[in-house]
Amino acid sequence: MFNMDFKQRVVIDTSKKLWEKSPSAGVLRKPLARENRESGHATSIVKYEAGAKFNSHGHPLGEEIFVLSGVFSDETGDYPAGSYFRNPKGFEHAPFSINGCELLVKLHQMSPKESQRICIDTTQQAWLPGCGNLKIKPLHTFENEKVALIFLPAGEKYVSHDDYIGEEIYIISGELIDELGHYPAGTWIRSPHSSIHQAYVKQDTLLWIKTGHLGN
């Protein structure tokens, strides 16, 4: 097991981690949290080299993906950078990438009650106003869990808040700063239930964020 104590804060600068081989040739990964090596709960950055593919498979408790770069493909279509999707229990696919891609991947973390497949091209979504000059693109809501993209323009504060039932952030671009440190693009932060922080940015910054999913 690796980073599976959800009561502990975890910060990983993924740019400093080495790629690890997966069971499929040309598919590499950087584990961020993992229950077992090849099964169970897992959060990873995954890289498909050009031409890499996986055999058809499913995930008993679902699969959640955000495409960071390149184009990710399967039988249902081609998904460029900015695509977000959730494949529920029972969905099977044989993913591949013709020219290569990088992904943020979360496995076996969906509620068994979720049955709808979700696929969003966030580049086609309109930004909605948030607090101050913050902008948001909601991606998913189910029970307590919420997933969104958040854009913070240079100089904006991310209002002090209580991370009820946890918060997970991946910095897609820019840099996030809080009282504990500076977090450049490629950093993954997992904060436990009821942790409190006040973040801000000095440059335009884009975040993928999930809240309400870590238990108390």
Domain 125-211 part of CATH 3.40.50.1580: no
Confidence at residue 165, expressed as pLDDT on a 0 to 100 scale: 78
92-146 pLDDT, tens digit each: 899 999 999 999 999 998 888 888 999 999 999 999 999 899 999 999 998 889 9
144-202 pLDDT, tens digit each: 899 999 999 999 998 755 556 789 999 999 999 999 999 999 999 999 988 888 899 99
Confidence at residue 215, expressed as pLDDT on a 0 to 100 scale: 66
Find out whether 71 and 102 touch, Cβ atoms under 8 Å.
Answer: no
Find out whether 133 and 181 touch, Cβ atoms under 8 Å.
Answer: no
Find out whether 184 and 175 touch, Cβ atoms under 8 Å.
Answer: yes
Element (H or E) spanning 70, and its range?
strand 63-74
Paired residues of 96 in beta bridges: 53, 73
Domain 10-115: which CATH number of 3.40.50.150, 2.60.120.10, 3.40.50.300, 3.40.1160.10: 2.60.120.10
CATH 2.60.120.10 range(s) for the chain read 10-115, 125-211
Nearest to 139 by CA among 185, 85, 214: 85
Say which amino acid occupies 77: G
2-34 pLDDT, tens digit each: 888 888 999 999 999 999 999 999 999 999 999
51-100 pLDDT, tens digit each: 999 988 777 889 999 999 999 999 999 999 999 999 998 888 999 999 99
Confidence at residue 96, expressed as pLDDT on a 0 to 100 scale: 97
H helices present in the chain, as ranges: none
Confidence of residue 216 (pLDDT cuts 50, 70, 90): low
Confidence at residue 122, expressed as pLDDT on a 0 to 100 scale: 98
